[in-house]
Amino acid sequence: METTLRGVGVSHGVAIGEVRHMGTAVLEPPAKQIPAEDAEREQGRARQAVEAVAADLIARGNLAGGEAQHVLEAQAMMAQDPELMTDVERRIAVGSSAERGVYDAFASYRALLANAGEYLAGRVADLDDVRNRIVARLLGVPMPGVPDSDEPYVLIARDLAPADTALLDPALVLGFVTEEGGPTSHSAILARALGVPAVVALPGAGELAERTVIAVDGSTGEIFVEPSAEKRAEMESAAAARKAALSASTGPGATSDGHKIPLLANVGGPGDVPAAVEAGAEGVGLFRTEFLFLDDSERAPSEEKQVAAYRAVLEAFPEGRVVVRVLDAGADKPLDFLTPADEPNPALGVRGLRSLLDHPDVLRTQLTALAKAAEGLPVHLEVMAPMVADRADAKAFADACREAGLGAKFGAMVEIPSAALRARSILREVEFLSLGTNDLAQYTFAADRQVGAVSRLQDPWQPALLDLVALSAQAAAAEGKSCGVCGEAASDPLLACVLTGLGVTSLSMGAASIPYVRATLAKYTLAQCERAASAARATDSAEEARMAAQAVLSGE
């Protein structure tokens, strides 16, 4: 009998197939005492396992490339954390086996992360995956991971670690469903990059029996269990129509009456550029530069290394717009040379621009490298600061750009409610705004962007969030300046229409979402988008907002 479940759709598309479950996690190793004379040997085993797992994560990242590579390299650094390894060796020295020492040390570190604030708590799933891989290697059992199958299937998991998501084979994994996670979790971001339909935050997903046939709608978040022939035909027909519409839609982003909305790509480094170009991105709306700095947490990369990496991206978009975000360190991206190690709540502490203003030499080197990378290129370079709170922040960043001789436009990210509320004041100092809807939602609703239990508050359709977007866009229009969106909200085709109606002037997203957004925008006039935006803002919940916008655009 057909039943319907609802989670959070995070990656477009339809998948219909049999359920396969993720391999079970490693069991807790026994707490047996080892002789003192075996301690050194066990410590060596632990170090070897850690290095092997770190090397495997890096190798997986090299194979996957792009955003996945940066995520997996960060996991490898987590495995090799010197304080964590010291704790492992201490536990072994007092009688634990290598596998038990690793298990207990990671458990202790896990508790610290879980209580360390929003961003770090959101990395618990990544830490668990690293622990499981190390313990599995020590026990000599298979690594936890995706099931072996010769037939395509829909993957079900409690959560998916980046190492698993990064190397999913879209030819076999038709889609995936997780019990935990949220729309801005690593797995959701990587699913969109892969173009795999995905639904997260679905309670009870693990109870779906192996080989049950389900239909997954990655746009609506709906799961149809044992779908009828009619439902399957309906979903397959809709998917085919969507695919045809995507193929027919080309060129710059615009509404049906010609209102231009440039569609840009979010990239994490040169590896993401080919997919962006293939998708027809009109430029880059968010170039994350953290990948350069995460290779070595003890020192910043040289100016020469930065110039080469930036130029590789800038050269790919001649005459296009490339918006670079300067280093956004802190919270879940701590750097030993830059961020405090003892903050009680790093997500609310010294991160983003605050870290850079405390270390002006790091900011100056990055701005100088960007200026040199753009020399002689016809690209339209723009540089923006993360975590701008007020006009003083904006002025400090603008002054730093001028002192570095940066000829590009400079702007501010709107990720903190205060920046949206005082956007016009901030625009007296900078030339554009870019809304990071992921963090803006997190700080507006006090809802960790990685925790499935509060995913409804991370929904970018929340009317309060739409109000803040509208305030920012109106302030930019009043100042004659631009206001884009570079958060994951832009990847939702229906919401892209609403954002356009709110006055947003450009949309930036993962490359895989660009064709969907382009095709959807082209179906509606600017006036229809504006009416949909007004209808959405007049509601009291994310679901009501989505339904109200859909009703307007469908002519109901």
In 3D, which of 208, 448, 481 has the Cα closest to residue 332? 448
CA–CA separation, 169 vs 147, rounded Å?
A: 12
CA–CA separation, 353 vs 120, rounded Å?
A: 19
Q: Are 496 and 470 in contact (CB under 8 A)?
A: no
Amino acid occupying residue 435: L
**By three-state DSSP, how is residue 141 classified?**
coil
HSE-CB at 472 with a 13 A cutoff on CA atoms is 30
List the catalytic residue out of 12, 70, 186, 529. Answer: 186
**Catalytic residue flag (residue 186):** yes
**By three-state DSSP, how is residue 326 classified?**
coil
CA–CA separation, 138 vs 25, rounded Å?
A: 14
- The per-residue b/e assignment along 25-62, b for 16 or more CB within 10 angstroms, e otherwise, is ebeebeeeebeeeebeebbebbeebbeebbebbbebbe
Q: Which two tokens stand for residue 51?
A: 């290095």
In which element (H, E) is residue 278 found? helix 273-278
Q: Are 166 and 61 in contact (CB under 8 A)?
A: yes
Q: Which two tokens stand for residue 509?
A: 């997203």
CA–CA separation, 225 vs 2, rounded Å?
A: 5
Taking phi over 0 as left and psi of -120 to 50 as alpha, with beta for the rest, 528 belongs to alpha
Report the chain's terminal Cα–Cα distance, integer Å.
31
List the catalytic residue out of 401, 483, 486, 529. Answer: 486
In 3D, which of 261, 277, 279 has the Cα closest to residue 526? 261
Identify the residue whose tokens are 């296009």.
Answer: 320
CA–CA separation, 354 vs 72, rounded Å?
A: 26
What is the full DSSP assignment across 24-75? PPPPPPP-----GGGHHHHHHHHHHHHHHHHHHHHHHHHHH-HHHHHHHHHH
In which element (H, E) is residue 200 found? strand 198-200
Identify the residue whose tokens are 């590009």.
Answer: 408
Max CA separation in the chain (angstroms): 79
**Catalytic residue flag (residue 401):** no
User: Torsions phi, psi of 239, nearest 5?
Assistant: -65, -40
The neighbouring-strand residues paired with 156 are 21, 177
Task: Catalogue the active-site residues.
Answer: 186, 486
